[in-house]
């Protein structure tokens, strides 16, 4: 889920571009592929690239009652700043932002959404999910 933002970083502040996303990503344990679909808008700010958009993911979770694996659709409202690490015009390295754990754009001006989507997904998955409202588990 990588977007080259070298051109956008050269654009004036307030410039934006829309991107359609249609991919799959591996989750942390590598066993669950999360299909991802959506649209994001990338806006050049005075210090970063602001990513805003709605992303639909489908994750595989285990039912809290019957322990079956089922796919759970989630909609993520993403709003996240990505900070450049290299100045496009001067070629100098930019010191990391003051905010802890902020996302960065690599030295090739590639903005990678994968980690952000992974984190948003993990936050959005409910603690106890049921494959269906009336699931009584296999014991009954």
Q: Under the rule (CB under 5 A), what is the footprint of Zn ion?
A: 63, 65-66, 131, 135
| 6 secondary structure, DSSP code | H
Q: Which is nearer to Zn ion, 62 or 74 (CB)?
A: 62
Helix, strand or coil, per DSSP, at residue 134: coil
Minimum distance, C-beta of residue 129 to Zn ion, in the bound complex (Å): 9
Q: Which is nearer to Zn ion, 123 or 134 (CB)?
A: 134
Q: Which is nearer to Zn ion, 3 or 63 (CB)?
A: 63
Minimum distance, C-beta of residue 18 to Zn ion, in the bound complex (Å): 39
Handedness of CA 12, 15, 21, 27 (dihedral sign): positive
Sole residue written with tokens 């829309």 = 18
Minimum distance, C-beta of residue 125 to Zn ion, in the bound complex (Å): 16
Question: Which of 108, 107, 87, 104 is closest to 96 using CA atoms?
Answer: 104
């Amino acid at each position: 889920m990588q977007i080259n933002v070298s051109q956008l970083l050269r654009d004036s502040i307030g410039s934006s571009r829309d991107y359609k996303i249609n991919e799959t990503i591996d989750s942390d344990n590598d066993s669950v592929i999360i299909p991802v679909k959506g649209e994001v808008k990338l806006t050049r700010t005075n210090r970063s690239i602001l990513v805003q958009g709605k992303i639909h993911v489908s994750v595989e979770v285990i039912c809290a009652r019957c322990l079956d694996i089922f796919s759970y659709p989630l909609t993520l409202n993403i709003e996240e700043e990505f900070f450049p690490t290299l100045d496009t015009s001067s070629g100098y390295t930019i010191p990391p932002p003051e905010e802890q754990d902020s996302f960065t754009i690599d030295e090739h001006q590639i903005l990678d959404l994968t980690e952000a989507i992974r984190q948003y997904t993990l936050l959005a998955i409910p603690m106890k999910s049921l494959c269906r409202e009336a699931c009584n588990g296999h014991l009954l």
